[in-house]
């Protein structure tokens, strides 16, 4: 076994999809996760898709990638939020509006999970099982946040490869190494406050 296999196994979570109550799509400016969510929806895995996201808190605005999904219905390029963009991708792939639950306030991953939970509660939806469509290298941190917000939910992670970074190739490029090890660091650093709250609750 390669010495970094434990990192690979930890970061790159992946499950077989199973019939669920909802599909979560954390925000981003890439179409791949939404495309997979649309495919899973059309195959009958879940009746709802919840795309979440305003824009990256670091960027302060949303810039859609230049692709066939970048054009709005009026023919102009540009969306105000990640949610708007992801919903456009989903609708172009045949997902009807009534199946979409929009969340357009989140600016980072933890907020994706928090605001998604808020929307689910507002609508009184069941979420005993959920599919989580996210970037492959982002799978573990994403899952941890959603599990923290939905402790009673059984999640099935359905990842997509983006930026050419997969469990089989991440250690073969500088970008892959920096991205995956960065995720590994964030899985510790970004959970300090959450863990402190759990300690306080246990006292």
Q: With contact defined as beta carbons under 8 Å apart, do 27 and 52 qualify? A: yes
Task: Give CA–CA dist 73/58, Å, rounded.
Answer: 28
- The pLDDT value recorded for residue 193 is 84
Is residue 140 one of the residues assigned to a domain?
A: yes
- pLDDT digits over 163-187, tens only? 999 999 999 999 999 999 999 999 9
Number of structural domains found in the chain: 1
3-state secondary structure (DSSP) of residue 92: helix
Has residue 67 got a pLDDT over 70? no
**172 belongs to a structural domain:** no
Mean pLDDT over residues 109-135, rounded?
97
- Quick check: is 125 in a domain? yes
Note if the pTM is more than 0.85.
yes
Q: What b/e sequence results for 35-44 when a residue is b if at least 16 CB atoms lie within 10 Å of its CB, and e otherwise?
A: bbbbbbbeee
Whether residue 97 lies inside any domain: the answer is yes
Residue 176, domain member (yes or no): no
Q: Among 57, 104, 101, which residue's Cα sits nearest to residue 79? A: 104
Query: What number is the average pLDDT over the span 132-138?
Result: 98
Q: Is residue 200 part of a domain?
A: no
The answer to the question of residue 123 being in a domain is yes
Q: What pLDDT is recorded for position 72?
A: 55
Q: Tell me, what's the pLDDT at 73?
A: 53
Of all residues in the chain, the percent with pLDDT exceeding 90 is 79
pLDDT at 110 over 80: yes
Instruction: Determine how many CB atoms are found less than 10 A away from the CB of residue 116.
Output: 27
Answer yes or no: are the C-beta atoms of 135 and 110 closer than 8 Å.
Answer: no
Could you list the residue range(s) of the whole structural domain that residue 36 is in? 14-164
Question: Does residue 70 carry a pLDDT above 70?
Answer: no
What CATH number is associated with residue 105?
Answer: 3.40.50.620
Q: Is residue 93 part of a domain?
A: yes
- Rounded distance, CA 18 to CA 83, Å? 24
pLDDT confidence band for 58 (50 / 70 / 90): confident
């Amino acid at each position: 076994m390669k010495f970094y296999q434990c990192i690979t196994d930890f970061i790159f979570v992946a499950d077989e999809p199973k019939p669920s109550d909802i599909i979560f799509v954390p925000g981003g400016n890439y179409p791949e996760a939404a495309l997979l969510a649309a495919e899973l929806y059309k195959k009958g895995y879940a009746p709802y898709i919840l795309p979440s996201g305003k824009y990256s808190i670091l960027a302060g605005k949303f810039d859609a990638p230049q692709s066939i999904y970048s054009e709005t219905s009026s023919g102009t390029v540009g969306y105000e939020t990640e949610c708007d963009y992801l919903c456009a991708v989903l609708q172009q792939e045949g997902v009807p509006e009534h199946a979409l639950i929009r969340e357009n306030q989140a600016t980072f991953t933890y907020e994706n999970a928090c605001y998604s939970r808020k929307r689910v509660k507002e609508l009184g939806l069941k979420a005993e099982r959920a599919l989580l469509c996210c970037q492959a290298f982002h799978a573990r941190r994403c899952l941890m946040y959603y599990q923290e917000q939905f402790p009673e939910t059984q999640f099935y992670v359905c990842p997509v490869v983006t930026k050419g970074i997969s469990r089989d190739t991440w250690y073969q490029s500088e970008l892959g190494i920096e991205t995956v090890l960065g995720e590994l660091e964030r899985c510790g650093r970004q959970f300090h406050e959450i863990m402190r709250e759990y300690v306080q609750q246990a006292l």
